Amino acid sequence: MDIRPLRIDGAFEITPRQFPDDRGVFAEGFRADRLAEAIGHELQVRQSNISVSSAGALRGIHFADVPPSQAKYVTATGGVFVDFVVDVRVGSPTFGQWDSVVLDTLDRRAVYLAEGIGHALACVEDGTAVYLCSEVFTPSIEHGINPLDPEVGLVLPDGFQPVISPKDAAAPTLAAAADAGLLPTLEACLAYTSSLAGVRR
């Protein structure tokens, strides 16, 4: 598989090799050893999420307090999605910026994002996305940024009509979240991910 760093430090695009034959296609969707080479530690999966979405669904921007936050490995098992990684880490040189990857069942790409990075998922064609997460969901430490915040400026696909949850619609802007002290710092994120090297749980 090919693992390519995205423009947000700590986020990667993973493209598996596919082996088609007359029975179908085989690909390695996740390799802990290969991912560890890129991120510096092994991703310990503690929760798997299955997200079934209709075209137009826009989920996020979500992030969690660090530590422990939630690193995520996201791929599509059906449909087409645009996966956004958003740098919400105060002190980061790319703070407020984002990158994106198209997830589908043609290229079968995945996205990895480290603890403290914001995440949003836009469903272009009805489908299902699967998340592997480093921690279980803990509502008390979860936060969001309004995905339509113009300061962040996510560029959605042409003709995309976003459908967002009431919770995401009520989420603060990036600036308001920063003013409220909700955002993680780059320093805390890097210290936590560094502490994971060599740790097995």
How many other CB atoms are found less than 10 A from the CB of residue 69?
24
* DSSP-based three-state secondary structure for 125: strand
Pairwise CA distance, residues 162 & 149, whole Å: 13
Residue 126's φ and ψ, nearest 5 degrees, are -40, 135
Length of the chain counted residue by residue: 201
Exposed e or buried b per residue across 3-39, where buried means at least 16 C-beta atoms within 10 angstroms of its C-beta: beebebbbbbbbebeeeeeeeeeeeeebeeeebeeeb
Cis, peptide link before residue 61, omega less than 30° from 0: yes
Active site residues: 62, 131
